[in-house]
């Protein structure tokens, strides 16, 4: 999958969020980080949109990838194109 317009929705204290950001940095994939800590309305909208209840939320464009484990699995399988 092509990593274009990558967006993360994260909490600053979440180790999985920080791992996802580090991985994207290591892969030299630019991303926009949206801190949703304390923003219950935004989190509720993401839960409704994705069905996932945990952070981070990882999107490539408008396509929901999943969370940190999903992103790591994609990277390990070589399924991320820059």
Instruction: Give, for all 82 residues of the chain, the pLDDT tens digit.
Output: 888 999 999 999 999 999 999 999 999 999 999 999 999 999 999 999 999 999 999 999 999 999 999 999 999 999 998 7
pLDDT score recorded for residue 60: 97
Task: Write out the two tokens for 70.
Answer: 């999903």
Reply yes or no: is the peptide bond before residue 56 cis, omega within 30 of 0.
yes
- Distances in Å between the alpha carbon of 66 and those of 4, 30, 59? 15, 17, 7
pTM for the model: 0.94
**Cα gap 2→62, rounded to integer Å:** 12
pLDDT score recorded for residue 3: 87
pLDDT score recorded for residue 2: 86
Topology of domain 6-77 in CATH is: Glutaredoxin (3.40.30)
Residue 11 φ/ψ, nearest 5 degrees: -115, 140
Q: Assess contact for 55 and 17: CB atoms under 8 A.
A: yes
Residue 28 φ/ψ, nearest 5 degrees: 55, 45
């Amino acid at each position: 999958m092509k990593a274009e317009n990558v967006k993360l929705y994260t909490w600053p204290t979440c180790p999985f969020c920080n791992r996802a950001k580090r991985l994207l940095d290591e892969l030299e994939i630019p991303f926009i980080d949206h801190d949703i800590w304390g923003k219950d309305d935004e989190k509720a909208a993401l839960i409704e949109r994705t069905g996932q209840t945990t952070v981070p939320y990882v999107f490539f464009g408008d396509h929901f990838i999943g969370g940190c484990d999903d992103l790591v699995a994609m990277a390990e399988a070589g399924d991320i194109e820059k």
